[in-house]
Structures are given as structure tokens and as C-alpha cells.
């Protein structure tokens, strides 16, 4: 379980396919405090740590199934790419964003970016099957970042990112056309399911 508050920007060091895909990610985290088997949210995807190292700089490795690759933006991952990282929530931690599972529902695409004061308005197009779960003033996780939806128009929705968020996450490097991992709010998922049974 995560909160969508990014605590590090990692860098993809290596990707190799040996059965499943394995990614080695450089991090500022103290790898001595990470256990093998721990979950780390990487660009919104909950992945399991399978190896750790410290040379030439701290890194961890995760294994990624073909199913996860097919449902996320992982096909765009390459060495040198920066990724948003968050370690798993501990009991008693501050919940600054919203409950994020790291189970990506689909891929949205950035269709527009424009400055509004110091902030930047991002507009996304969601997959048709997920659009009904996105509501104005609701929460959404995009590339692992907890964000508030400003407006919704069919499959299109907008969010504002303040300068701080762009500085401490990969959003400062985003561009129109980028594919982003989208996780809908868990509450919206259950409300929709209950309505089906209504």
C-alpha cells in the first residue's frame, strides 16, 4: 500500500529479459534498509525487490511479469529514464495523498500541457473503460503520483501540477504524447461495483 507521495526519482540502469523482465533502478534510498521481497512503487507500479547493490551507486532490482508490461507504460522504459519511487506505507506513517495500491488499471496519454500561473495544467485522455471512474475533485494516481482531478469531459480530464511537484517527480520532464500509468481511486471502483449489484 502506498500514498502517491513520491519520495525519490530513480534512474533505470539496466533492463534485461530472462523469462520475466528484470529492471535495475538506481536510488537515493539506503538500500541497507530495503529487504529482499519488499514492495516499491515504481512509476505507479507495485514491484517486488529481488536484488540489491551499492556499486557504483545504490540500486535495487525488480522482476516484472509480461502481464504487468502489457498493462503499463513499461514498453517506454529504457536505461537513463527517470522513474517516480515510493516505498511501502508503514503503520503510523502520514497519509499525505490517498490510498494507492500500485495496481495500474491502464495507460492514459498526455494530450495538452499549458502554464497557468506558476502551475502547469496537464490534460489526459483515459482509456474508455476507465473514464467513468474519474470524477472532478476526485483522486487519481498518475505514474505513482497522487493528484486531484480538476475537470472531466468524456475521456478527457485535467490536473494541475505545482512547481514543487514538477521538481521532485518526473513530471518536470513530461511531454505531450507521453503514456502514463493510471490507477483509479479504490473508492470509485467499489462504488461502481456496488451500483452494478444495485
Domains of the chain, each with CATH number or no CATH: 8-87 (2.40.30.20), 106-197 (2.40.30.20)
Strand stretches in 65-187, DSSP E: 82-87, 106-116, 119-125, 139-142, 145-153, 156-161, 179-184
**pLDDT single digits (tens) 78-96:** 999 999 999 998 877 777 8
Cell matching residue 27: 536510488
Contact criterion met (CB below 8 Å) for 86 and 3: yes
**pLDDT single digits (tens) 152-193:** 999 999 999 999 999 999 999 999 999 999 999 877 777 776
Q: Greater confidence, 160 or 18?
A: 160
Q: Greater confidence, 95 or 59?
A: 59
> How many Å apart are CA 62 and CA 42, to the nearest integer?
10
| pTM as predicted | 0.93
> How many Å apart are CA 99 and CA 146, to the nearest integer?
9
Contact criterion met (CB below 8 Å) for 99 and 6: no
Contact criterion met (CB below 8 Å) for 60 and 42: no
Kindly give the residue spans of alpha helices, DSSP state H, lying in the chain.
66-71, 128-131, 163-168, 186-197
Q: How far is CA 22 from CA 85, 118, 123, 129, in A?
A: 16, 38, 32, 29
Conformational region of residue 170, where left means phi above 0, alpha means psi within -120 to 50, and beta covers everything else: alpha
Contact criterion met (CB below 8 Å) for 26 and 57: yes
Amino acid at each position: 500500500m502506498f500514498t502517491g507521495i513520491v519520495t525519490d526519482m530513480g534512474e533505470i540502469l539496466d533492463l534485461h529479459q530472462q523469462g520475466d523482465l528484470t529492471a535495475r533502478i538506481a536510488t537515493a534510498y539506503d538500500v541497507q534498509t530495503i529487504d529482499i521481497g519488499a514492495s516499491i512503487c515504481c512509476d505507479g507500479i507495485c514491484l517486488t525487490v529481488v536484488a540489491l547493490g551499492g556499486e557504483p551507486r545504490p540500486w535495487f532490482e525488480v522482476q516484472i511479469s509480461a502481464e504487468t508490461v502489457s498493462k503499463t507504460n513499461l514498453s517506454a522504459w529504457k536505461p537513463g529514464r527517470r522513474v517516480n519511487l515510493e516505498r511501502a506505507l508503514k503503520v503510523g506513517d502520514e497519509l499525505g495523498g490517498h490510498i494507492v495500491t500500485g495496481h495500474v488499471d491502464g495507460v492514459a496519454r498526455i494530450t495538452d500541457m499549458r502554464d497557468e500561473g506558476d502551475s502547469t495544467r496537464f490534460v489526459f485522455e483515459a482509456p474508455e473503460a476507465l473514464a467513468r471512474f474519474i470524477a472532478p475533485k476526485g483522486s487519481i494516481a498518475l505514474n505513482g503520483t497522487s493528484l486531484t482531478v480538476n475537470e472531466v469531459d468524456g475521456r478527457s480530464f485535467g490536473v494541475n501540477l505545482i512547481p514543487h511537484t514538477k521538481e521532485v517527480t518526473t513530471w518536470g520532464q513530461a511531454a505531450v504524447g507521453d503514456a502514463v500509468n493510471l490507477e483509479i481511486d479504490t473508492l470509485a471502483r467499489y462504488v461502481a461495483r456496488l451500483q452494478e449489484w444495485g
